[in-house]
Amino acid sequence: MIEAFVPVPQATDHVSVRSMEVDQLLLDAVKVDPLNQTISGQLVKMSKNGNEFYPYLLRYCTPPEIDEMASTTGFDLVERHQDWLNNTFNSESSKHVSVWQVS
């Protein structure tokens, strides 16, 4: 069982403000590499005490790619929903909760 986001094909590099308080600012700088299906970024915390950097890198997969990996290791998809409330997964879903079982 996993919960994961559904990749957006038109995702682009961007910088966003994650939070802004009187004494600190948290920015997220994101670089998207659709060819390698990776997202790299930096969470940057700015405060009077200085800047802190929290780098991250992830590789994303589409639901069909995850299903293929599961299948090649002996698992079959049992169910997929768009959330933990079991709402129907569809082409507009931004995330999925998927369950597999041993074949």
- Contact call for residues 99 and 86 (beta carbons, < 8 A): no
Instruction: Give the domains, in start order, of the chain with CATH numbers.
Output: 2-102 (2.20.25.570)
Q: In what order do the strands lie in the sheet with 24-33?
A: 14-20, 24-33, 38-47, 50-59
Virtual torsion, Cα 92, 95, 97, 98, nearest 10 deg: 70
Q: What is the pLDDT of residues 19-44, one digit of tens each?
A: 999 999 999 999 999 999 999 999 99
- Nearest of 100, 83, 87 to residue 1 by alpha carbon: 100
What pTM did the predictor assign? 0.80
What pLDDT score does 9 carry?
86
Residue entry with tokens 């995850």: 66
